[in-house]
Every structure is written in C-alpha cells, then in structure tokens.
Amino acid sequence: PQNYDKKFRGPITMKKAVRLSVNVAAVKMLNQVGIDTVMNYAAKMGITSLTPEDRNLALALGGITKGVTLLEITSAYTAFATNGIICEPLAIIRVEDANGHILEEHGVNQRSVLRAETAYLVTDMLRAVIEAPDGTGSAARIGRPAAGKTGTTDNYRTAWFVGFTPNLAAGIYLGNDDMTSVGVAGGNAAVLWGEFMSKALGNSPAQDFAVPSGIITGIRVATNTGKLATPFAKEVEVDAFIRGTEPRGADKGQFSPSNSPEEQTPQKPRFKLPPIRLPSFSWPF
C-alpha cells in the first residue's frame, strides 16, 4: 500500500493516522489485529456485504468486492456514539390514525457490539478528523462535539463523509451511477455533512460524548513515539486511554517501534542542543 500523497511519515499514532488518512498505518493495524477479527466485528456492526474474497489487507482501505451501502456504514458508526450499542435502523417507527391511536409500532432492536471503552477510543480518534486544523474532515465543524471520517475512492469516483454527535448520525455519499469521477474528495462531502447537521440540530443544546469510567483522558503524547510528551516533543496530541494502558515512559527521542522499516528510521535522537560556548582565556595561565 501507499499513502495518497506518496509520503512516508515514519512512526505515527493511530489517532494521527486517522486524522490525516494515512493508508499504510491502517493496513499495518489490520495486519496486527487480524483480518478475521475485523470482519467479525464488521458483521456484528451490521456490515453484511463482505465476502470470503475480501479476506485480505485491502480491506483496510475499502478494497472490497461489493462495497457497503451508506445506510450500513452510517448505522455502524452509531455504535461509537452510544458506547458500543447499535440499533437496527428504521424508516417508520409507528403508524397512527387521525385521532392519534397507534395502529402499528416497530419496537427498537438494539444490541451491544463493542466495549464502551473501545467505542470511546474510536470516537476520540474520529473527533480529531473534524476538530484538528489539519484533519481531513475539518470542513465538517459545527460548533459542537462531533466525530467522523472522510472517504475518497480511486480517481475520485466517489466521496464520502460519515459522522455523528452524541444524539445524531448522518452519512454523505457523492457519486455517479456509471462510476465516472465526481472530481471531489471526502473533504467536500464533509462540507455538506456540516451544513446538514447544523440545520438538523438547530438550536438544541450541545452535548459532549459520555466518557466511560474505564477511560482516562487528557494524556499528552508525542505523536512519533507514542510516549508521554516532554518539552522536546516535536508534535503533541492529547489522547484517551483505557485505564492501565496509558504510556508510562517519557519521550526521549527514540523513533523506532518494532514494525518500522529500518532504512526509514533515523538512528539518532532528534534533540538538538545549542553549541557549548567556553569562556575565553589566554595560555599559559
């Protein structure tokens, strides 16, 4: 795989990788977690279109046989907003007569598909896509907590944005029936998502995402080492962790996690110290 901009970014946190849509990191994560694990979770979250032929690393980048529908992917995203609970999407909740009597009613079918802590960590990463100035979905900002992800297929044939607030999820798809290029990327879909959500939410009170008790937030991390940030850190992000998994060691400039290509890994610490200036003196004393 390669990144869309053909650039290698070195060691990187998954939060930064999601924020910038770094393809290589997504493929490596799929390889580490396991294809079967990911396909099983996708099925639990309502993705029904995966086939045995999709059991390969291209799955990380959406390289699948049949694709997914906008309804399926948007419904799956709701599990992140609700701490792991997903509800079967409905078009009609109930039917009433002219007097308000309920003639038919559809019960809510919900199930738990993720640990609450896991769902929150994904939400935290997806918030950076919108909230960070360089996030691929920064055009989707709506002035309240929101999370989401852009998507762009090869040759700009389709563009996507799926996102959510604590109480509303929506998806945007831009594409042509004949699969000719629409000429725009996921960032353009993010603009439309932001406009829709602003109108749909209107003046309703802004809500923040509930933090599960097993989560610790506000941890400052160096993005190229994943360790606790020091004043020397080149770039810092604020992360959330499941309690007990937060980094303990401070960033000391080591670049090389085990899966980094050796030829792409700087072997020296990045710290630059100012030159030492000795006092002038004359010889002999």
**N residues, the chain:** 285
| Same domain membership, residue 239 and residue 124 | no
Residue 168 DSSP SS3? strand
Q: What is the pLDDT of residue 3?
A: 84
Q: What is the pLDDT of residue 254?
A: 57
Say if CB 240 and CB 216 are below 8 A apart: yes
The Cα–Cα gap between 227 and 233 comes to 10
The two tokens of residue 184 are 């725009």
Q: How many domains in the chain?
A: 2
Give the rounded distance of the alpha carbon of 46 from its chain centre.
18
| Same domain membership, residue 124 and residue 221 | no
| Owning domain of residue 219 | 215-264
Amino acid, res. 263 = E
Q: pLDDT for 160-195, tens place per residue?
A: 999 999 999 999 999 999 989 999 999 999 999 999
Q: What is the pLDDT of residue 107?
A: 85
Q: What is the pLDDT of residue 256?
A: 46
Answer yes or no: is 272 within a domain. Answer: no
Q: What is the pLDDT of residue 282?
A: 47
Q: What is the pLDDT of residue 7?
A: 82
The two tokens of residue 160 are 């996507």
Say if CB 198 and CB 163 are below 8 A apart: no
Q: pLDDT for 227-266, tens place per residue?
A: 999 998 889 999 999 999 999 888 776 554 555 554 455 5
- Report the relative pairing of strands 236-242 and 215-222 from DSSP bridges: antiparallel
| Same domain membership, residue 182 and residue 222 | no
Q: What is the pLDDT of residue 125?
A: 98
pTM given for the model: 0.85
Answer yes or no: is 165 within a domain. Answer: yes
Residue ending a domain, among 177, 201, 225, is 201
The two tokens of residue 63 are 């390289």
Amino acid, res. 261 = P
Answer yes or no: is 8 within a domain. Answer: no
Read off the CATH number of the domain in which 165 is found: 3.40.710.10
Q: What is the pLDDT of residue 252?
A: 76
Q: What is the pLDDT of residue 280?
A: 52
| Same domain membership, residue 230 and residue 140 | no
The two tokens of residue 57 are 């690393």
| Same domain membership, residue 197 and residue 77 | yes
| Same domain membership, residue 123 and residue 38 | yes
| CB contact set of 57 (below 8 Å; sequence gap of 6+) | 1, 27, 30, 31, 35
| Same domain membership, residue 35 and residue 146 | yes
| Same domain membership, residue 250 and residue 143 | no
Q: What is the pLDDT of residue 124?
A: 98
| Residue spans of the chain under pLDDT 50 | 256, 262-263, 268-273, 278, 281-285
| Same domain membership, residue 123 and residue 163 | yes
| Same domain membership, residue 76 and residue 190 | yes
